[in-house]
Amino acid sequence: MGQRIIDLDELVPETVDVKMGGQVYKLPGDIPVPDYLRIAKLWDSLQEEPEEDGDDPRLKQLYDVVLELFQREDPKLKSLPIGPKRLGLIVVTVFAGLTGEEEEPEGKARKQGGTKSTKRKTPAKSRSSR
């Protein structure tokens, strides 16, 4: 009787298509843990302590990490057509989706008596830690 092998490669998509500015870009289907942790740390930091004047180096760092992920699938890519709002959408929507997280609607969290910290969308926390 042979040893059973569970092929985790079959459970993770190879790439994910993302449409921005009318063009389709590709992201890796799985984000390396160090990159994911950098994204989560920067995102949480920006949510907890937003910069008043809009000139925040953490935003540029977050953009650079996200660009590097897109460059894994397209090494010639020099930039992404995104601003801060679209960057936030990428972090919250795409990365949460890649990890299988589902975000609760803001209204539902409020009805349950959630606080700002429990309603905040972040790719670093799963539903089980809420």
The domain limits of the chain are 14-120
Residue 14 has pLDDT above 70, yes or no: yes
The CA-based angle 101-113-102, given to 5 degrees, is 10
- What distance in Å separates the CA atoms of residue 103 and residue 112, rounded to the nearest whole number? 14
Please report which confidence band the pLDDT of residue 5 belongs to, taking 50, 70 and 90 as the band edges: very high
Residue 114 has pLDDT above 70, yes or no: no
- What distance in Å separates the CA atoms of residue 38 and residue 20, rounded to the nearest whole number? 23
Q: What is the pLDDT of residues 50-98, one digit of tens each?
A: 777 667 899 999 999 999 999 999 999 999 998 888 898 888 877 766 5
Mean pLDDT value across residues 38-56: 84
